[in-house]
Amino acid sequence: MQHHPVLSRVRSTCAHLPNVVFALAASLPLALLVLLVLGLIWGAGKAQAEEPPAACSGVSLVDKLAAVAPDKLAQARAAAAGVRNGRGLLWKVEKAGIEPSWLFGTMHVTDPRVTEMPGVARTAFENAGTVVIETIDILDPATAQAALMADPDLTMFTGDTTLTSFLDEGEAALVEAELARRGIPLALVSKMKPWMIAGLVALPACELARKAAGIDFLDVKLANTAKANGKQVLGLETIGEQIAAMADLPMDFHIRGLVETVRLADLMPDIMATMTGLYLDGEIAQIMPVILAAGPEETGDDASGYADFEKRIVTMRNHVMAERATPILDQGDAFIAIGALHLPGDEGVVALLQDAGYSVGLVQ
């Protein structure tokens, strides 16, 4: 097999790749919200805000795998093909006697290719009477900040504990150097929980620049547009519930995730490009298998931590969102937009609604 430097770097540096990638994909809006509320992105991006948003430089790992490891790419695609409801972004939700509604998978980024929805989805959104996103708390920084302040232990260390209390000397130096490269002193964020810092590091420069320029990611854009057009806007969760889901995971898991995210910082543009490309193609179930195909053969002791993450951050929330979506769907004429990774699988939101008696059919 031909040697490829980027794939070799992924394999050699990411013992905990599943944690990093899934955390980036599934919890990105949580990290973005908290960082925005605390002013980190605004502060770090202040000098960039007057400049045009940076272009994204990542290259999809799909292309790299196709060139140097087509067998691994084929295996990843085969694995994804076995996932229930594994492809597609727009689903029509129907039940006898009720006006149809729509379920749409979003990606929580500011990429203009993502924020400009496909025509069919855009039409469904424009015609819906009610628009629903994961949490409407993201529309009001004051509300979000109040939720954070109501239980500061969820996001901040208290007492004498700091981030470095959990890092060895080498890890602390690694994290400090990466933050310094982004113009953020470690002391400024030393009381923040590690998943918040990982959320900042995981974002490629192009995303940070667009956020600093005031560009909204898709979910916020949809909600604000709906409000401006007089539509009812609802949320399925509170920001407090979302943050609590992250805080429920063991500190060791979060520390490992932060350290590995820092080690992978230079590869995040490629990982983001991979996720974005597959999202735009509607190949949601391929996202994890394809990226993992470029990673290590074994995940070692990381497997249990990853399983816990998927259960708490994705699967359990899928059930909450499906349950809370039910009374909204029973009113009909709704457009529900949630992170696309919540759609596929036997316990994905699509399957949960199908199992609850709705006819949920793929549109696009």
What are 146-155's pLDDT values in tens digits? 777 788 888 8
State the average pLDDT for the chain: 83
**Average pLDDT of span 291-304:** 61
Taking 50 as the threshold, does the pLDDT of residue 265 lie above it? yes
**Average pLDDT of span 69-86:** 95
Spatial distance between the Cα atoms of 144 and 137, rounded to a whole number of angstroms? 6
Q: Give the Å distances, CA to CA, from 253 to 23, 168, 214, 257, 322.
A: 11, 15, 32, 6, 27
Taking 50 as the threshold, does the pLDDT of residue 226 lie above it? yes
**Average pLDDT of span 256-283:** 89
Q: Which two tokens stand for residue 327?
A: 């009374």
- The pTM of the full predicted model, rounded to 2 decimals, is 0.87
Taking 60 as the threshold, does the pLDDT of residue 355 lie above it? yes
Residue 312: per-residue pLDDT: 82
Q: Which of residues 156 and 129 earns the better pLDDT score?
A: 129
Residue 53: per-residue pLDDT: 58
What confidence tier does 263 reach under pLDDT thresholds 50, 70, 90? confident
**Average pLDDT of span 51-72:** 83
Q: Which of residues 217 and 53 earns the better pLDDT score?
A: 217
Q: Give the Å distances, CA to CA, from 225 to 131, 181, 276, 333, 343.
A: 10, 36, 23, 17, 23
Spatial distance between the Cα atoms of 81 and 75, rounded to a whole number of angstroms? 10
Taking 50 as the threshold, does the pLDDT of residue 11 lie above it? no
Could you tell me where the beta strands, DSSP code E, fall in the chain?
A: 90-95, 98-106, 130-133, 232-235, 334-339, 359-362
Spatial distance between the Cα atoms of 288 and 264, rounded to a whole number of angstroms? 16
DSSP string, 297-330: S--TTHHHHHHHHIIIIIIHHHHHHHHHHHHHHT
What confidence tier does 358 reach under pLDDT thresholds 50, 70, 90? very high
Residue with tokens 């992170």: 339
Cα-based angle 308, 282, 198 (whole degrees, multiple of 5): 40
Q: Measured in whole angstroms, how far is the alpha carbon of residue 282 from the centre of its chain?
A: 16
Spatial distance between the Cα atoms of 97 and 118, rounded to a whole number of angstroms? 28
Contacts of 311 (CB under 8 A, 6+ apart): none
Taking 60 as the threshold, does the pLDDT of residue 52 lie above it? no
Residue 56: per-residue pLDDT: 80
Residue 13: per-residue pLDDT: 42
Residue 94: per-residue pLDDT: 98
Question: For the chain, what percent of residues have pLDDT higher than 70?
Answer: 82
Residue 332 burial (CB < 10 Å; 0-12/13-18/19+)?
Answer: middle
Residues found in the chain: 364
What confidence tier does 306 reach under pLDDT thresholds 50, 70, 90? low
Question: For the chain, what percent of residues have pLDDT higher than 90?
Answer: 49
Residue 24: per-residue pLDDT: 52
**Average pLDDT of span 81-106:** 97
Weakest mean pLDDT among 46-50, 84-88, 181-185, 220-224: 46-50
Weakest mean pLDDT among 45-49, 197-201, 281-285: 45-49
Residue 12: per-residue pLDDT: 42
Single out the residue of 227, 214, 217, 19 nearest to residue 131, CA to CA. 227
**Average pLDDT of span 231-242:** 92
Taking 80 as the threshold, does the pLDDT of residue 4 lie above it? no
Taking 80 as the threshold, does the pLDDT of residue 280 lie above it? yes
Residue 184: per-residue pLDDT: 85
What confidence tier does 228 reach under pLDDT thresholds 50, 70, 90? very high
Taking 60 as the threshold, does the pLDDT of residue 95 lie above it? yes
Residue 303: per-residue pLDDT: 54
Half-sphere exposure of 122 (CA within 13 A, CB side): 7
Taking 60 as the threshold, does the pLDDT of residue 158 lie above it? yes
